[in-house]
Structure 1
Amino acid sequence: MHEAPTAEFILKKPHWVQDRLVFDIESSRGTFSPYFKCDTLKLQESIEASLLLSTLPAMCDSRRLTSETPVSESLLHNMRQFSEIFSSWFPEYHALELTDISGDQAVSRNTGRVGSFFTGGVDSFYTFIKHRSEITDLIYVHGYDLQLDDLSRREAITEMGRQIAEEANIRFIEIETDSQKLFRAFGEWGLKSHGIALGVAGRLLAGHLDKIYVPSSFAEEDLMPWGSHPDTDPLLSDETVEYVHDGCEASRVEKVQVIKDSALALDHLRVCWERVEGAYNCGACEKCLRTMTSMYAMGVLAECKTFPHKIDEKRIRSFLLTSSSARKFTNENLRLMESSGLQSSSVYAAWLKILSRSDSHNWRIWRYRRSMGKLKRAIHKVFLGRKVE
């Protein structure tokens, strides 16, 4: 059983420091002062955003949240449910106590505009294409997907957004923030904190957008406790802005099948997390090669402008599939290649080879690579020492 909250976190409205909206978030680990910045439109000075920013620190430290400013009553109700779900998933968190916060009736602004979080990846494009007739705005958050000092790739994102906005006649909203430091301090980014982080960014757009889609990471049959989830994302909503977790009905391969017919997606698709100077997609990481394989099996890889048109089978054979999701994605691609009559291809053989490795085999390979890496570093250090002498 979780212990009762032992102290208070006081919610404070954000304040402007030049063109940055700054929050002061108290915690047992000190005060964090994350900022948010947007050149597209004016961000809202939201006490509700302060509530979301303070949620994981309060749950982690078992501290009660209080506020002198009234907070959306429906959001308070939702966040109690959110904290109960989250603390059942992750026992290091405690359910929120919000009894000392007065509720206020949130009011819909009826802007007629609908947004969707967007990184240029498969999940993002799938949701955008699926709801194309409804979505008026795409939202990209600098500092979440890419680090703030990754300037060349951030510039590429801005250019991608400019082109998509022009071609699709939508608005591309860019927000900059350093708040990931706060979220990482109180929860692993992917597993626990990125969903509520998106919620904070969206709350700052209340009054500009009525609804925001959050593209799903997993298909329904693969759902697990995760930072962004259909059970928790909608609980970040109130009458002012609604969050919709979208895309669980489709597997990753099914999503690629949808976006392969979109010239917009083939011109701008971006899935890579690797930091490679000058590369939009590195074309060599597991995520790139997995996506390239799906497009190869569907016969559209040569039409995609953001990937190499040749798949490196040797690189595929070097991968270690250590997670259930990686194995599932590989199985999906193998079935897809089989349906396309590509069982005799070298690409099929490479993926089948790594899928057939046992966990113990993968572990031995990992240990060998780690040992060789240590040896190389030691040799390099010795040679550096000789050069210094």
Structure 2
Amino acid sequence: MTEIVLRQVSWEPVTENSTARIEFSIVTPVRDYQVYISGRGLQPQPGLEAGVALAVLAGMRKGWDLRVDGELSESFLAGVYEYMRRFTESFTDFQPVNIKPLGTYKATIASKGAGCASFFSGGADSFFTLIKGKEQITDIVYIHGFDVRLDDFPRRAAVDATCLSVAEALGVNYLPVESNLGKVLQDFGSWPLHAHGLALIAVARMLAGNIGEVRIPGSFSVDEQKPWGSWLYTDHLFSDERLQIVHDACEARRMDKIKHLAGEPLALQNLRVCWERVDGMYNCCRCEKCMRTMTSLEILGVLDKAPVFPLPLDPARVAAVCLPRAGMRIFPQENLRLLRNSGRNLSALEHAICAQIERPIWVARFRLRWKKRMLRCQHHLAKLKVKF
């Protein structure tokens, strides 16, 4: 077999005791995947657009055509072909493939009463998109299984509580969604570089009906755009008349967003930038994302107003942060400019930021590889102690 076969296995509508759930079968020449999406707000769809978003990366990586045992909207299909053209021009180890549905249909225009949803993780980008668009946004969506593992139940409960609190404060609906979609995407590409936008798009497509527009918070300003998993120049290509997908990029850089959120008590009380699994902690206060955000808030003089970062900012820990990609240096560079323009005398913190920037990339990668090996050893030793 030299093609992927995409099928919808089942659709379970919402009931009094359960949320809606859809399951796809994605059969590739090397492995079969059973992918489900369940949660509030999901709607029955006339086509398999969500499944295409999950399967197309594997096809482009291996050169396998995609056979769809269902229909696709005409405008969506045209958009996916344009997406493949732009994506493969940027990532040359992928190639465009043929998509062969059983048929096509003309999507109907979303009703005027359809809502506007935005993905929300509690991070700086999603908080900024939400606050900036609070007059239009009616729903926020969080995907369990996206950056928090499905079996990390304490963290899931904490995220749900935060999202619900933010939704109630702003008068919007909270739509929690759960999915195991990560595996089929990560087996054929890098999650940050190629895949995470497709995961968001797959869930967005399942909201079409009650929702007419879905916003994907952009990580980079319009001037900073670069090809990666969620990109200004490709996300919208998965739209059609039934659903508009908007990559929410704007003139604001990350530091502009942090400055804005520093004046928003709701954000300071609920900001979640961390994906590390640390028992009993909402933000670990140790990882690169925590360090960069805590550094910004400290320079702005509001870190003590952010209870979601319970540990003090240690300059030595800031200095130890390793940046394995050149593009990540933009964040400490912004913090350094912010500090020098603030006029504050934080010399230890300034030296720590400079240490991040000046560390060679190969050294950062070596240290991170060594750290992962040590963590794996600790994990195996812990298992042996339990066994014996």
TM over 0.5: yes
Aligned to 2:11: 16
Aligned to 2:221: 219
**Greater strand proportion:** 2
State the 1:36 CA deviation.
Answer: 1.1
Aligned to 1:324: 326
2:333 and 2:202 mapped to 1: Cα distance?
A: 36
Aligned to 1:355: 357
1:230 and 1:273 mapped to 2: Cα distance?
A: 24
1:192 and 1:67 mapped to 2: Cα distance?
A: 22
State the 1:199 CA deviation.
Answer: 0.5
1:288 and 1:140 mapped to 2: Cα distance?
A: 20
AA partner of residue 44 (structure 2): Q
AA partner of residue 205 (structure 1): L
Q: Secondary structure at the match of 1:181?
A: helix
Is the alpha carbon distance of 1:370 and 1:59 closer, same or farther for their aligned partners in structure 2, counting shifts above 3 Å? closer
Q: Secondary structure at the match of 2:282?
A: coil
Aligned to 1:257: 259
1:166 and 1:360 mapped to 2: Cα distance?
A: 46
AA partner of residue 283 (structure 2): N
- How many matched pairs? 374
Aligned to 1:71: 72
Unaligned 5+ segments in structure 1 are: 1-5
**Alignment check: 8 A CA contact 2:316 2:352 kept:** yes
Is the alpha carbon distance of 1:344 and 1:195 closer, same or farther for their aligned partners in structure 2, counting shifts above 3 Å? closer
**Alignment check: 8 A CA contact 1:193 1:227 kept:** yes
2:178 and 2:363 mapped to 1: Cα distance?
A: 43
TM-score by length of 1: 0.88
Is the alpha carbon distance of 1:69 and 1:318 closer, same or farther for their aligned partners in structure 2, counting shifts above 3 Å? closer
Deviations 1:308-333 (A, max 9, x none): 36211111122233322332211110
1:15 and 1:148 mapped to 2: Cα distance?
A: 21
Is the alpha carbon distance of 1:10 and 1:326 closer, same or farther for their aligned partners in structure 2, counting shifts above 3 Å? closer
For 2:152, which of 150, 153, 177 is the aligned residue?
Answer: 150
Aligned to 2:107: 106
**Correspondences of 1:276-291 after superposition (within 5 Å):** 276-291=278-293
AA partner of residue 348 (structure 2): S
2:73 and 2:377 mapped to 1: Cα distance?
A: 55
State the 1:100 CA deviation.
Answer: 5.9
**Alignment check: 8 A CA contact 1:28 1:61 kept:** no
Aligned to 1:3: none
Within the alignment, does 1:237 sit opposite 2:260 as a pair? Answer: no
**Correspondences of 1:265-304 after superposition (within 5 Å):** 265-304=267-306
**Alignment check: 8 A CA contact 1:123 1:247 kept:** no
State the 1:359 CA deviation.
Answer: 4.7
Q: Secondary structure at the match of 2:33?
A: coil
AA partner of residue 223 (structure 1): Q
Is the alpha carbon distance of 1:300 and 1:185 closer, same or farther for their aligned partners in structure 2, counting shifts above 3 Å? same
State the 1:340 CA deviation.
Answer: 1.2
1:117 and 1:71 mapped to 2: Cα distance?
A: 24
AA partner of residue 7 (structure 2): K
1:215 and 1:360 mapped to 2: Cα distance?
A: 31
1:7 and 1:339 mapped to 2: Cα distance?
A: 58
Greater C-alpha Rg? 1
**Alignment check: 8 A CA contact 2:2 2:29 kept:** no
State the 1:303 CA deviation.
Answer: 1.2
1:343 and 1:254 mapped to 2: Cα distance?
A: 22
Within the alignment, does 1:339 sit opposite 2:332 as a pair? Answer: no
1:91 and 1:59 mapped to 2: Cα distance?
A: 10
Q: Secondary structure at the match of 2:246?
A: strand
AA partner of residue 247 (structure 1): A
For 1:194, which of 180, 193, 196 is the aligned residue?
Answer: 196
Q: Secondary structure at the match of 1:270?
A: coil
State the 1:221 CA deviation.
Answer: 3.6
Unaligned 5+ segments in structure 2 are: 13-17
**Correspondences of 1:135-174 after superposition (within 5 Å):** 135-174=137-176
AA partner of residue 107 (structure 1): T
Is the alpha carbon distance of 1:377 and 1:190 closer, same or farther for their aligned partners in structure 2, counting shifts above 3 Å? closer
